[in-house]
Amino acid sequence: MNDSIKEQIRELLKKHNAVLLAHNYMRDEVQEIADITGDSLGLSIEAAKTSADVIVFCGVHFMAESAAILSPGKKVLLPRPDAGCPMADMVTAEGLEDLKAKHPGVPVVTYVNSTAEVKAHSDICCTSANATKVVKSLPDPKIIFAPDRNLGRFVAKSVPEKEFIYWDGYCPTHERMTVEAVLAKKAQYPEALFICHPECAPEVTALADQACSTSAMYDYCRTSPARQFIIGTEAGILYRLRLENPDKEFILASPALFCPNMKLTSLEDVLHSLQTLTPVITVPEDIRLRAKQALDRMLAIPRD
């Protein structure tokens, strides 16, 4: 059955000159058929470079919005429009403006895991991979960091000279991973390295051999001489890790590392989306332009 659906999807992608994107946390079978897999903003950047007329984004709502921000001339489809992000929903533009009013003149650094409207009310965006570099690029002694308090505290350790004002948001999936769960896995696999996402709580990242973005996890595991890894991020990442490193063992740090929103999108959803060219995700032009400014400021920072 899956093979038939995949064949239909490939035919429709070609017919509509569409590109299929899958986030690293998607179901295995969705990642398998995707044209491009990766992290949220990286996918939108790569899609913008293509000649595709249609972007099919297998991810959550804010990710499709990012694709719409960067590719205004393309039609962006989100097969499951009910796939949201609890952390992105924890901050609103109105709430952020209230916080800014309490700290006039303090720049807002907003994680890309946020709505287009929140990005539009921010000074600059960041990813989990470049957050430290973004914060260091600002001359201001104080910043507002939204919405992920855990990522903000992780960055603050590398920028002790700055004062951080944290929005009190977090990723429920990463928040569910406990120190006790990690220590139990480390005791079970004493030779394994523990790598986790900086969205985890500070006491968890403190145990890590490496705390980094999902894209950096792939590089780290591929180049490390270690043979076993305890993985502290959403379970979907295991598909590609195992595919790229068949001679290495990857152990999920906790069964709690499962995001129901990331698992909503099925092959049937992708097929229906391509058959109907719906649901379409759009961003009002005034918000798109302001949100793009925050993204462009981030992208203008030189890479190493």
Mean pLDDT, range 107-128, rounded to an integer = 98
Is 40:66 a contact under the CB 8 Å cutoff? yes
Above 90 in pLDDT, residue 35? yes
What average pLDDT does the structure give for the chain? 97
Domain shared by 159 and 294, yes or no: yes
Query: The domain spanning residue 93 has which CATH number?
Result: 3.40.50.10800
For residue 248, what is the DSSP state? Answer: S
Domain shared by 235 and 294, yes or no: no
What band does 303 get if pLDDT is binned at 50, 70 and 90? confident
What band does 24 get if pLDDT is binned at 50, 70 and 90? very high
The answer as to whether 257 is a domain residue is no
Domain shared by 291 and 166, yes or no: yes
Q: What percentage of the chain reaches a pLDDT higher than 70? A: 99
What is the count of structural domains for the chain? 3
CA distance 225 to 128: 24
Mean pLDDT, range 147-158, rounded to an integer = 98
Above 80 in pLDDT, residue 1? no
Q: Residue 102: which residues within 8 A CB-CB, separation 6 or more?
A: none
Check residue 2 and give its pLDDT.
Answer: 84
Check residue 304 and give its pLDDT.
Answer: 66
Check residue 98 and give its pLDDT.
Answer: 98
The pair of structure tokens assigned to 137 is 């690029």
Domain shared by 73 and 7, yes or no: yes
Mean pLDDT, range 155-166, rounded to an integer = 98
| Structural domain for 61, as ranges | 2-83+262-282
Half-sphere exposure of 205 toward its Cβ, with a 13 Å CA cutoff?
18
The pair of structure tokens assigned to 110 is 């907003």
Above 70 in pLDDT, residue 206? yes
The answer as to whether 278 is a domain residue is yes
| Predicted model pTM | 0.96
Which amino acid, one-letter code, is at 211? A
Q: Residue 75: which residues within 8 A CB-CB, separation 6 or more?
A: 53, 54, 55, 277, 280
The answer as to whether 304 is a domain residue is no
Domain shared by 218 and 184, yes or no: yes
Which residue bears the tokens 């502290």? 232
Check residue 302 and give its pLDDT.
Answer: 87
Domain shared by 247 and 268, yes or no: no
Domain shared by 125 and 162, yes or no: yes
Which of 75, 206, 71 has the alpha carbon at shortest distance from 150? 206
Which of 161, 179, 173 has the alpha carbon at shortest distance from 25? 173
What band does 31 get if pLDDT is binned at 50, 70 and 90? very high
Q: Residue 98: which residues within 8 A CB-CB, separation 6 or more?
A: none
Model confidence pLDDT, tens digit, residues 40-91? 999 999 999 999 999 999 999 999 999 999 999 999 999 999 999 999 999 9
CA distance 218 to 58: 20
Check residue 279 and give its pLDDT.
Answer: 98
Which residue bears the tokens 């990857």? 250
Domain shared by 106 and 133, yes or no: yes
Q: What percentage of the chain reaches a pLDDT higher than 90? A: 98
Domain shared by 116 and 152, yes or no: yes
Is 265:80 a contact under the CB 8 Å cutoff? yes
